[in-house]
Every structure is written in C-alpha cells, then in structure tokens.
Amino acid sequence: MIKAIGGKVFKKLLSIRISVMAWVLFIGFLIVVATVHQRKLSAGQLALFSVNSFLFGYYFSPLLSAQKSRVGSLISAARQEEMTLLDILTQAHMMTDAGRHKLKVKLRVYLESVIGNTKVRADNPYYDELLYFTKEIKGEDKDVMNTIYNSVSKTQGNRDTMDNLFASRIYSHEWLVAIVLFSITLYFALQTDFGSSIFFGVMLAVLCTGLSLLMVILLKFATLTHKEAKRMWQPLEALVREHFDDVDRAEVVAEKSRIDKLPVN
C-alpha cells in the first residue's frame, strides 16, 4: 500500500509543469545560498569539482539525447499507425454500409487497446480479431477486405517498434551514476564562496536551478511525462474523434467484452 501511495505521489510530482518547478527550485536555492555558510575551496577540491562537472556533462548528455530520440521515435511510430489506419478507413468507403460499420467497431476497439498503453505488444487479441474479420469475410466486400487485410497486418510492425521503444529505459545503475555526479556537482556549487555580492549569489541560485532542471527534464523524458511525449497519442486520439463518431460506446464495450471472453490459442 505504501508503494502504491508513493507511486501516486511520484506521478503527481511529475505532472507539475517545468516552469512551476523552475520558480520553486529557484526560490529554494536562493534561501539555501543565503543561509548556508560558503567556504573557499582548496586546490584539490577545485580539481575534484572540475573533473566531476566534466564527467557529469559527459555522462548526462548521451542519456538525455537517447531519451529525446526515444520519444521522437515513439511519435513517428504512432503517426505511422495513424497513416495505416487512415488508409484502411479510406478503403472502407468501397464497402457496404453494414460491413463498413462492423469494421469500424473492431477498429475502434483495437485503437482503444493501443492509445495510452505503454505496455502495448506486437501480439494483441483485438488485432487478431480484426485480422481474422478482414480475412474471413465473404460476399461483395471480399475484394476490398483482401486489400484491408494487408494494411491491417502492417500495424503489427508499428506495435513491435513501440514495444521496443517503451522497453528502452534508463537502467538503475545509470540513474545511480547520474545522481551521484549531479549531487557532487550541486554540493560543490553551493559551497562556492561568492563573497558579499548579491548578484553572484543570485547567479549561483540560477546555476543550481538549471542543474536541477536538467535532471527533472531527463526524468520527465524517461517516464514519458514530458509535454513532448504527451504528443505521442494525439494523432490517434484525433483519428477516433474525427472518424469514429458514428460508433456507439455501447457497441465498443460489447465487442471488447466478446473478444475478452474468447479462448486464448
């Protein structure tokens, strides 16, 4: 229970905007700078500070770059999924009204299993049902369905890509190294003797705020709570709003319930 509460608190903290965090951190560091007794660093301490600062920047930069690239690739994969589904919807206009509506119900069930799901897998029961439906349908829609079947099968590659990207996280030992280097850098920065100059005291608070925000940004990218990461699902959410308004919620719930009760092969 404590773990669950801690997880909720952590998510709440991550939902705070970076601009708000910046002001809170800045005010906090201003108070620390004004109250902590600074000291003149020895030559050895300055050397340690310089080496540690270099190592922090050298180690931190690839981590942030990799996470930003991961988010960009996830957005691209989601857009590729959107384009595939738009192509299917376009082809569906050549079907009968009844056949097209059945297809759209199954498509919406499939979409809702993907949107917002960071545990999406290449193997998806709603995808399997959609694939079976497009392959087994008979009658005048058969020729169109053969084309749609080929398009539906492409979505498996998109989900596989997303699955791999969601699994590409920062390992615990990488977090440990980054936090240690950050903490040492922050400690030495706060120990810097800036004399009686208010200006340099403010600049020190700004520096410490910037260092802390770098870690916050990395954490937000890694946990997909950064506003850039939230763009990921927007194309698919827009697709549902704009092209599935004729599909009732009750139909979606009934279809999902039916699929969930099917035996697992």
pLDDT number for residue 38: 74
CA 144 to chain centre: 36
How deeply is 246 buried, as exposed, middle or buried, from its count of CB atoms within 10 A (0-12, 13-18, 19+)? exposed
Four-residue CA torsion sign, 21, 23, 24, 29: positive
**pLDDT tens profile 83-129:** 999 998 888 888 888 888 888 999 999 999 999 888 888 778 888 88
Predicted model pTM: 0.83
**pLDDT tens profile 7-30:** 666 677 777 888 899 999 999 999
